[in-house]
A and B are shown apart, each in its own frame.
Chain A
């Protein structure tokens, strides 16, 4: 089913419950990882 994000998206669309998480593409640069850390802490 391609990569795991694609699979999770297809499964969710079919009504299957997925593990809660952040399944958007995570940018590869360190500064963006820091942004992500802030997002997760706020959530």
Chain B
């Protein structure tokens, strides 16, 4: 697998299946990376063919204290974009998970991580492999909030404002299972991005349902609002 060092969101990477393709694919990826990210640097890593995408939510106060808020399973993707996210991830090797939690906390303490963040992994054959760390709140954060009752946005704001925050791992209790579904503005036949007016909208509700969005019936959905 060839990857751009500045890539992300599934962009700037290419699988090399035949040795003869290595040089030409590297050159193509470098050019694409230069155009997309302004940085043509690339690196190589083993292609893991059929992994799950598991991520660990962390919070650090910038003073060397950090906790984790468990896992999310974001394996359900299309074109490297997450579609359905769940918390917690099920059927994970417990020993591997505990070691990974410990290593994640070590990393956050080592760099005195400040704010909320997500450490993303590929998971295959009971092994976790680090992909990247997203140093921000993520779209899928609500599924973690739903099973922990921990308000990640509030924590991020408190940390940013240098307010007191208690980060004690023993205070984090996990309960239940949560799923999130992203709805994309696409043509239902071609699956191409499809801006336009939202003519009708009925939001879900009820016990255990959480709905996060800015959209409403009548809203013109502009091309800039579509994530390609």
- Listed in ascending order, the chain A residues whose CB lies under 8 Å from chain B are 1, 3-5, 7-8, 10-26, 28, 30, 33-34, 36-37, 40-41
Contacts and interface: CB of A to CB of B under 8 A. Distances in A.
Contacts, number: 104
A21 B40 contact: no
A3 B128 CA distance: 20
B122 interface: yes
Contacts of B23: 30, 33-34, 37
A25 B41 CA distance: 7
B27 A7 contact: no
B133 A3 contact: no
B114 to A, nearest CB: 12
Nearest to B104: A16
Closest 9 CB pairs of A and B: A21-B45, A14-B107, A3-B5, A15-B103, A16-B103, A22-B44, A19-B129, A19-B45, A14-B106
B54 interface: no
Nearest to A15: B103
Contact of B129 (A17, A25, A37, A40): A17
Nearest to A21: B45
24 contacts: A1-B111, A1-B132, A4-B132, A7-B133, A10-B111, A11-B103, A11-B130, A11-B133, A14-B103, A16-B103, A16-B128, A17-B100, A17-B103, A17-B129, A19-B45, A20-B45, A21-B43, A21-B44, A21-B45, A26-B41, A28-B30, A33-B22, A37-B19, A37-B22
